[in-house]
Structure 1
Amino acid sequence: MNLKTLAKNLGISETTVSRALNGYPEVSERTRERVLAAAELAGYRPNPMARSLASGRTKLVGIIHPLLPNDLADPMFMQIVGGMVGALEARQMDLMMAPVSVENELRAYQHMVKERRVDGLIVGRTRLYDERVAYLAKHGLPFVAHGRTRVNEAHAWFDYDNESGMHIAVDHLLEHGHSRIALISAPLEMNFARQRFDSFKLRLQAAGIKPDARLLIDNTIDRRSGYLAMQALLALQPAPSAVIIDNHMSGVGAMRALLDAGVRIGQDMSVIVWGQMEDSLAGYKVTTIDQPNPDKAGAKMIEMLLALQGGTPPSDLQELWQPVLLPGETVSRV
């Protein structure tokens, strides 16, 4: 059965039937219930392609994502995506994730905008100056950036306070008497890594400590690079007394390097990792800078995207959540 036949059987217009099926508020509740009951009885299902053409909406939200080797094994990433999926499913919408190579990423955004395959986009892993954000801000497709960037065009974004979180981490180590503190960072073209890196140096300088370039290792974003970075720090004479790792995937590798080297974590060396790791992977209850509620963060980004579609100005949709310190057994006094 098609829409025309359903409308004829009910004795009402096709427009009214369509609006009732799609939840338009101007249709009375009595009419809506009548239409839904008749559609259920007849086994009628709307043609999604025709509905999309008629409404101009796909009921799809997209993520264009250049996958890194460990992404699908990253529990925080999957929790954020899970929160997005839950928020969309509650509204009978879907999430489409499009894996893409790094070199073709901007072209994929251009295709998505030109062909309007989705109603909106979530842009992840924002960069210092992000050409994806700049492009979308100029071309009218609703989007929310997961992370801040230095792009000047007004746009919606969601982020955790990287500067505040790094202050908490450094202060915690200073309070335990550490002054030779190392930092293992993600690639510094990523905005979160640069904010944490700059905040780390400023906090040490405020405490009267000159940052030692040998103790600053960047470009680590997975277990292997974290492992190699920690090995390099252990080879220094003297080695640092404490290390902050600015992402939990590198944190797993860094902890493994310490275990393999026979270092007594929390005694010979103190460690703070940004982002929760499974204790079973680290062998310790790790002192952590936590980004709470990643599933709720995913849902929040979807709510912001829908608000954009509803006409809320992007400058009113900029959300900064606060990280917190979760004490563990990997920090001790010098």
Structure 2
Amino acid sequence: MNLKDLAKTLGISETTVSRALNGYPEVSERTRKRVLEAAALAGYRPNPMARSLASGRTNVVGIIHPLLPNDLGDPMFMQIVDGMTQALEARQMDLIIAPVSSDNELRSYQHMVQARRVDGLIVGRTRLYDERVAYLAKQGLPFVAHGRTRVNEPHAWFDYDNEAGMHTAVEHLLAHNHQRIGLISAPLDMNFARQRFDSFKLRMQSAGLAIDPDYLIDGANDRRSGYLGMQKLLACAAKPTAVIVDNHMSGVGAVRALLDANITIGKDMSIIVWGRMEDSLAGYNVTTIEQPNPDKAGAKMVEMLLALQNGTPPSELQELWQPILIAGETVASNQQ
């Protein structure tokens, strides 16, 4: 069955069928679903080379990703990717992830843009001033930044509200009578870490609480560094009564350090971790600041990217979702 026959069977125009198959946003979701179901039932498969030549598109979205050792074991990262993949597959498109070393990351972006190997890019782990975002904003290739940055050029981005989430975490501990609060952060050149760090300091200061520099540990973005960071806090002469860990991969290491030190979590020390942890790894129902629906977040970034391709200004594609606190058993009232 060809495109003409498929359109005739459905009783709609060939243009509408083509747009539905190619993921154009002006086609309603109901019509798109109907067309895709009919195409699958009839065994219709568009010719990818002809489609690319006709549209000038590759029907591929890319992620250039300097993989860290724990990335493939990071459930949140994999859920986001799964959401992207499902959204693209529904539109007969593909996702590629190109691993790259940190030193050659910008050069990889330049090669990808110059060769036009993809229709658009998702840029992850945004930095305070991100040269990748600054470069892409001037090149004309559609992209969505997963996270904000201080780059001024108009660009599309998706993020969770880091300031509000950290404010909620500190507020929760203050409500449980904690004043000596430590913070284990990812590297502070990462924009999310800096926003959470600044929000932590601001909320503590507004509560009239001095921040002990020894309670601030940064550079922790995996289990080992989270473990070592918690060990440093436990070595303080006056240990904090509560600790916030700003990323879930470090959170697993931080909890493990408490268990190895025979600290009764929720009694001897309270802890909040940003991002849901695997309970089987931690051994506790940990109080978390959760970024809900990571799969839907992935799908949303794909929708934004397709909207860019179809002419929506990037300044109209900036999405901020709210994190929520999920109370567990690792925060209790401070009695010290």
Q: Structure 1-normalised TM-score?
A: 0.88
Cα shift at 1:44 = 8.4
The superposition leaves residues 169-190 of structure 1 with CA deviations (integer Å, 9 ceiling, x where unpaired) of: 0000011111100000000000
Q: Structure 1 residues 125, 209: CA separation in 2 closer, same or farther (over 3 Å shift)? A: same
Return closer, same or farther for 1:331/1:310 CA change in 2, 3 Å cut-off: same
In structure 2, distance between residues paired with 1:215 and 1:282: 22
What are the Cα deviations for residues 212-242 of structure 1, in whole angstroms up to 9, with x where unaligned?
1110000000000000000111011111100
1:126 aligns with 2:89: no
Shift of 1:300: 0.4
1:22 Cα shift? 3.6
Distance in 2 between residues matched to 1:160 and 1:167, nearest whole Å: 13
Note the alpha carbon deviations across 1:116-143, whole angstroms, 9 max, x for none: 1011000000000000000000000000
State the distance in 2 between where 1:50 and 1:97 align.
24
Question: In 2, distance between residues paired with 1:87 and 1:197?
Answer: 33
Aligned residue number for residue 277 of structure 1: 277
**Aligned twin of 1:204:** 204
Cross-structure match for 2:7:
none
Task: Report the Cα distance in structure 2 between the residues aligned to 1:263 and 1:163, rounded to whole angstroms.
Answer: 29
* Alignment CA distance shift 1:234-1:51 (3 Å): same
Tell me what 1:220 maps to: 220
Q: How many residues in Structure 1 have an aligned counterpart in Structure 2?
A: 311
CA separation in 1, counterparts of 2:292 and 2:198? 23
Cα deviation for residue 329 of structure 1 reads 0.4
Other-structure match for 1:306: 306
Aligned to 2:155: 155
Q: CA RMSD in A?
A: 2.4
Counterpart residue number, 2:241: 241
Structure possessing the higher radius of gyration over alpha carbons: 1
SS in 1 for 2:138: helix
State the alpha-carbon separation in 2 of the partners of residues 327 and 77 from structure 1. Answer: 23
Cα distance in 2, alignment partners of residues 128 and 270 from structure 1: 30
Counterparts of 1:88 and 1:48, CA distance in 2: 14
Q: Distance in 2 between matches of 1:18 and 1:171?
A: 57
Q: What are the Cα deviations for residues 47-106 of structure 1, in whole angstroms up to 9, with x where unaligned?
A: 423432332101100000000000000000000000000111111111011010000100
Tell me how far apart the structure 1 counterparts of residues 150 and 108 of structure 2 sit (CA, whole Å): 22
Residue 91 and residue 258 in structure 1: after superposition, are their counterparts in 2 closer, same or farther (change >3 A)? same
Residue in 2 that maps onto 1:136: 136
Task: Quote the Cα distance in structure 1 between the aligned partners of 2:195 and 2:266.
Answer: 26
Closer, same or farther: CA 20–211 of 1 in aligned 2, 3 Å = closer
The one-letter amino acid of 1:264's match is T
Matched, 1:232 2:232: yes
Aligned to 2:52: 52
Which letter does structure 1 place at the counterpart of 2:143?
F
Alpha-carbon distance in structure 1 between the residues aligned to 2:101 and 2:122: 17
Q: Structure 2 CA distance, aligned partners of 1:46 and 1:79?
A: 29
The residue number in structure 1 matching 2:145 is 145
**Matching residue of 1:317:** 317
In 2, distance between residues paired with 1:97 and 1:326? 32
Structure 2 partner of 1:167: 167
Q: Does 1:257 align with 2:287?
A: no
Deviations 1:241-298 (A, max 9, x none): 0000000000000000000000000000000000000111111100000000000000
| Alpha-carbon distance, 1:299 to partner | 0.4
Moved more, 46-55 or 217-226: 46-55
Amino acid at match of 2:270: S
Secondary structure (helix, strand or coil) at the match of 1:139 reads coil
Residue 46 of structure 1 and its aligned partner are, at CA, apart by 5.0
State the SS of the aligned residue for 1:266.
Answer: coil
Cα 1:198–1:66 change in 2 (3 A) is same
